[in-house]
Amino acid sequence: MRWKYIVPRAVVLAALWGFFAFGFDPLLKHEVVVEGQSAVTAKVDVATIQTSFFPPAISVTGVRVANHGKPGTNLVEFELARNESAQRGAGRRNRWSSKKA
Residue 88: is its pLDDT beyond 70?
Answer: no
The full set of domain ranges for the chain reads 3-100
Residue 9: its pLDDT value, please? 96
84 φ/ψ sector (left φ>0, alpha ψ -120 to 50, else beta)? beta
Identify the pLDDT of residue 55.
87
pLDDT tens, 39-66? Answer: 999 999 999 999 998 889 999 999 999 9
Task: Tell which residue, 93, 91, 98, 18, has the closest CA to residue 55.
Answer: 93
Is a pLDDT exceeding 60 seen at residue 80? yes
Question: Is this model's pTM higher than 0.85 or not?
Answer: no
**35: exposed, middle or buried (Cβ count in 10 Å: 0-12, 13-18, 19+):** exposed
What are φ and ψ of residue 71, in 5° steps?
-60, 140
* Phi, psi angles (nearest 5°) of residue 96: -115, 135
